[in-house]
Structure 1
Amino acid sequence: MYELEILAGFIHDLKLENLDKKVIDAAKLCVLDTFGAAAGATRDPLIQKIVSTYQSLYPGGGDAAVWGFEKKMPFLQAAFLNGMMGHRLELDDVHTSSKTHIGTVVVPAAFALSQHLDLTGAQFLEAVICGYEVMSRIGMGFGVSSHRNRGWHVTSTAGTFGAAAAAAKLLGLDAEKTVHALGMAGTQSFGVWAFLEDSASSKILHPGRAAVSGIEAALLAKSGMTGPTKILSAFDGGLFKAMSDEYSYTAVTEGLGKDFEILKVDIKPYPCCRSTHCAIDAALYLSGHYPIASDEIKKIEVETYLVGYKQCGLTEGSLKPKTPVDAKFSIPYTVAAALLKGTVNIESFLPEAIQDPAVQSLLSKVEVRPEETFTSRYPKHWGCRAIITMNSGDTYETEIKDALGSVDQPLTPEDLNKKVEPLIKVAYDDPKMIIQSFLEIEALKLSDMA
């Protein structure tokens, strides 16, 4: 058997009653975290304009919820919009071993299709788990560093597979048709990091489009269309060879069904690129443990892994941030904000916060460079070292192996509630009730939610 056949068999055979409770509980928390991140973005001006534009195209509404908005829309459009909303604040989850933001692809796809099909929360959770396992494994198979360093955005390149897996499960496809759905998901694999070059806001298009492409792949397979069953390994046009120099077919299936990747998902505490988080933690640690007066800082050095340096410490936007996109992908900015404000939150990325003269002055003293120690540990560990040198000559240094919210430094369920409650409150009057409904989702009908 080859990779897609093994994945398809896993998807077809997975049943909630056969899973360990910790896997089911992890799925619920991932769903809640994704929903919270999306709900928190509902008042974002760009999101509001996009939703308004799409609502005008469908005056008759639809059968699936656009989270945080009263009017429902056709399920494909709802999946598309919810996927973009979930990525807008940069608060969505990260599976670090594959570098994928799984929740904002798989959860919107599964939620919208479940509502369209009038399915139960239990069926929805099965699909979510299938999506997480498939998307993470395709992402690991790509070879994280090589895939990223060639410019590919794995949330979308692997995302189509995750959404197709979830949709195939919900549609009840047999194993053969599921293989074809995954093949067609692969032939729609897409997404590059070019948006960083000029701070374009189109990054959120990637999860939204991946969610829709995956659903459509499953619908086409159900209708009888066949997909390339060897999409990963074909001699002419095989995806892994086309997108990476360090791919692994073994990573796609090794431990499948026994070693659940959904248990290894990071929950982000700060609304910015995950590669900035270790530097934020380092800045907060140093300012909390040493007498560091910001106006007495001579320079700040941050050593990190190559991918983190390329994303958040190399481009003009990261070195001289002017926009929210710049700042969210800037180690200099997030370190300066953490040192000056004692926290990094949604308000940190408002235009007036970014243009604060004190922040701009301090970030100019931050130097980011790649360091082989951290590069060699990546993607298992997303770490860094921060060194602050004062005008007096005193230096303060710390190393962060794993950022807050990681598998090794996890947020508790209580921490997650504290994160998502104010986000959900942006769009809903009773966030506590909504949180409880997600924690009990297997007993509900998806059509009754959101």
Structure 2
Amino acid sequence: MIAASQKLSAWVRQMRFDDLPDDVVTATMLRVIDVVGLSIAGSQRPFGMSVRSATAGLHPGTEARIWGGAARSSVSGAAFANGALSQALEYDDTHNESIVHMSSPAVAAALALGDRLRCGGRDAILAIAIGNEISCRVGSLAPGQFHKRGFHPSGLFAPFGVSWLAGKMLALEEDAMIRAAGITGSFAAGLIQCWVDGTQSKFLHPGWAAQSGIAAATLAEAGVTGPAEVLEGRFGLYASHLQDEAVTPDWRRLTDALGEEWESRNASFKPFPAAHVIHPYVSALLRLRERHGLSAERIRAIRCDVAPYIVGIVCEPQGEKLHPLTDSHGRVSLQYTLAEALVRGRLGKDAYQPEYLRDEAILSLARRVEYRVDGSLPGPEQFKGVISVELTDGTVLEEIEEHNRGSSENPMTTDEIVAKFNENVAGTLTAAQARRLVDAALALDRCEDVSRFTELTVTDHE
């Protein structure tokens, strides 16, 4: 039997930019501008300032840029910092079925390597598209099984995508790519115990994934070996992490129709900085708010029908969800998030501020958000929200979001993604700088030197 890593490596080796479908190229350029904007926004948060400070000590160097300032670092350091910063607001895109944030580590890794290699934009786009596709596929073999065991898909699956991304950019031979994937298995990680107390370690996972994939490819290039059956082997990723004979990964999802069916097309941009499974409920509630002029005082209860798999992610334990301790706590709470969205009328870059987390009007409404499990709702392949609002006069208003905003079935427009970027970089980049960066990202396929693109992220602020 041919190992999965061998099949994936053979595909990566033969892929060329001209093999990418036009829509995948366009989506990848939009993902670049989205991730860069998120990283710049994250750099202004206390978490981001801590990451930048730590990176300066851990990764001295000048090969690559940390976006949103004048700082530089080693390739590994820039990939780590930019990847971690882009998750700070829980605002980065998600592959629906696997719930892996694939673009944050892929874009961070590709642009850091691009800074050093001075490669063209087409090379970076191809590498990101490859990395995203593999991250999504690796995560789709047993959807939902890792979250409920306390693992963050981005920490487990994205390192593999970045490993092949880096292998492509470094022009590794097939055998070296296989070794790199095997090494990556020892780096893949991602516990989400931080959801219990609202701490920040989950935000580091895209950064670790970006750094790990680059490290694995570099080690393999130098001759370090790793197991060929790192995914499907006796002690491979799935056997070691699932440890449940009742769960059988669908191995066909990993390599069938590679280059013909693009799993990354099933990834969603985020219009809200919250756990992605909450998004359809936020959209539905905000439509009801606008349509009926709703205020918290008029609401007796907000009731959400939810799919079973999201209960342990955003609904329970209720004590944590009803009174989140930190912004990261709040971003994974269905109850709190809906309450803040309704009270404030929006959920953007400035959401989950400390004063909002203590606002009794929001907390009181959060206590009136109820959920009930509906086994007929789809699994993670489709984020669907069913919501009803009972008013104090007994009126019941109902709304359904069939597909989350930002998905392929309900896409965000280019203008909406650019508007999100502009909001995220406001206060760090000038309006003129933001326009130049957007224009350059949307023309990245014509860029001759990726470092010229990352130069546009430089400001005088530190």
Query: Same fold per TM (> 0.5)?
Result: yes
Give the direction of change, closer, same or farther, for the CA distance of 1:297–1:85 in structure 2 (3 Å limit): same
Deviations 1:305-354 (A, max 9, x none): 22322111113321212321121111111111222222111222111122
Q: 1:240 aligns with which of 238, 246, 251?
A: 238
What corresponds to 1:363 in structure 2? 366
Q: How does 1:26-175 map to 2 (within 5 A)?
A: 26-56=27-57, 61-141=61-141, 143-175=142-174
Please state whether the residue corresponding to 1:404 is helix, strand or coil: coil
Q: What is the DSSP-based 3-state SS (H/G/I as helix, E as strand, rest coil) of the residue aligned with 1:187?
A: helix
**How far is 1:86 from its partner?**
0.7
2:348 to 328, 345, 348: 345
Specify the code of the residue in structure 1 equivalent to 2:344.
Answer: K
Letter in 2 for 1:413: T
- Secondary structure of the residue that 1:105 maps to in structure 2? helix
Corresponding residue of 2:333: 330
Bigger shift: 283-292 or 412-421? 283-292
The secondary structure found in structure 2 opposite 1:346 is coil
Residue in 1 aligned with 2:451?
447
Q: Over aligned residue pairs, what C-alpha RMSD do you find?
A: 1.6
Give how far 1:166 is off: 0.7
One-letter amino acid of the counterpart of residue 119, structure 1 = C
Aligned partner of 1:373 among 371, 376, 385? 376
Shift in Å at residue 58 of structure 1? 5.5
1:408-447 map, 5 Å: 408-429=409-430, 430-442=433-445, 443-447=447-451
Offset from partner CA, 1:14-42 (integer Å, 9 cap, x none):
10023222221111111111111111112
SS in 2 for 1:301: strand
117-126 vs 215-224, greater mean Cα deviation: 117-126
Q: 1:62 & 1:358 partners in 2: Cα distance?
A: 48
For residues 422 and 198 of structure 2, the distance between their equivalents in structure 1, rounded to whole angstroms, comes to: 30
Counterpart amino acid of 1:220? Answer: L
Residue type at the aligned position of 1:277: H
Code of the residue aligned with 1:10 in structure 2: it is W
Distance in 1 of aligned mates of 2:196 and 2:59: 34
CA distance in structure 2 between the partners assigned to 1:254 and 1:287 by the alignment: 44
More moved, 103-112 vs 396-405: 396-405
CA distance in 2, matches of 1:291, 1:18: 50
Letter in structure 1 aligned against 2:268 = D
**2: CA distance between counterparts of 1:57 and 1:279?**
41
Mapped contact 2:199–2:329 kept (Cα < 8 A) = no
1:161-187 deviations in Å (ceiling 9; x for gaps): 011011000110111211111121123
Pick closer, same or farther for the CA change 1:291–1:65 going to 2, 3 Å. closer
Task: Output aligned runs, 1:379-394, within 5 Å.
Answer: 379-394=380-395
Q: Which residue of 1 aligns with 2:19?
A: 18
SS of structure 2 residue aligned to 1:397: strand
Check the 8 A contact 1:241/1:247 in 2, yes or no. no
Partner of 2:460: none
Of 309, 316, 329, the match for 1:307 = 309
Q: Deviations over 1:131-178 (max 9, x none)?
A: 01111100112x111222122111010011011011000110111211
How many residue pairs end up in the alignment? 445
Alignment match, 1:215:
214
- The structure-2 alpha-carbon separation of the partners of 1:344 and 1:184, relative to structure 1 and needing over 3 Å to count, comes to same
Q: Contact between 1:158 and 1:189, CA under 8 Å: does it hold in 2?
A: yes
User: Normalising by the residue count of structure 1, what TM-score does the alignment of the two structures yield?
Assistant: 0.95
Residue pair 1:309, 1:369 contacting (<8 A) in 2 also: no
| SS of corresponding position for 2:382 | coil
Q: TM-score normalized by structure 2?
A: 0.93
Identity across matched positions, percent: 27
Question: How many angstroms apart in 2 are the aligned matches of 1:49 and 1:18?
Answer: 41
Aligned to 2:95, the other structure's residue is in SS state: coil
Question: How much has 1:263 moved relative to structure 2?
Answer: 2.3
d(CA) in 2 for partners of 1:339, 1:205? 30
2:458 aligns to what? none
> What amino acid is the match of 1:129?
A
3-state SS in 1 of match to 2:206: helix
Tell me if the contact between 2:94 and 2:267 (Cα under 8 Å) persists in the aligned partners. Answer: yes
**Cα distance change, pair 352–415 in 1 and its aligned pair in 2 (3 A):** same
The residue type equivalent to 1:50 in the other structure is: V
**Counterparts of 1:49 and 1:140, CA distance in 2:** 33
Please tell me whether the aligned partners of residues 160 and 214 of structure 1 are also in contact (alpha carbons under 8 angstroms). Answer: yes
1:187 corresponds in structure 2 to 186
Task: Report which stretch shifted further, 46-55 or 328-337.
Answer: 46-55
Structure 1 position 368, deviation (Å)? 2.4
Post-superposition shift, 1:395?
1.3
Distance 1:445 1:362, change over 3 A: same
* Residue in structure 2 matched with residue 268 of structure 1 by the alignment: 270
1:339–1:425 Cα change, 3 Å: closer
Q: Report the AA paired with residue 120 of structure 1.
A: G
User: What is the CA–CA distance in structure 2 between the aligned matches of 1:189 and 1:321, rounded to whole Å?
Assistant: 28
What residue number does 1:320 align with? 323
Rounded Cα–Cα distance in structure 1 between residues aligned with 2:59 and 2:281 = 44
**1:366 Cα shift?**
0.8
Please give the per-residue CA displacement for 1:396-441, whole angstroms capped at 9, x wherever unaligned: 1222221111111100111111111222334322100001111112
Note if contact 1:66-1:78 (Cα within 8 Å) is conserved in structure 2.
yes
Q: What stretches of structure 1 move > 3 A for 4+ residues in a row?
A: 56-59, 290-293
Q: Alpha-carbon deviations, 1:245-270, whole Å to 9, x = none? A: 24221111122110112322201001
| Structure 2 contact 322–363 (Cα < 8 Å) conserved | no
SS state at 2:62 partner? coil
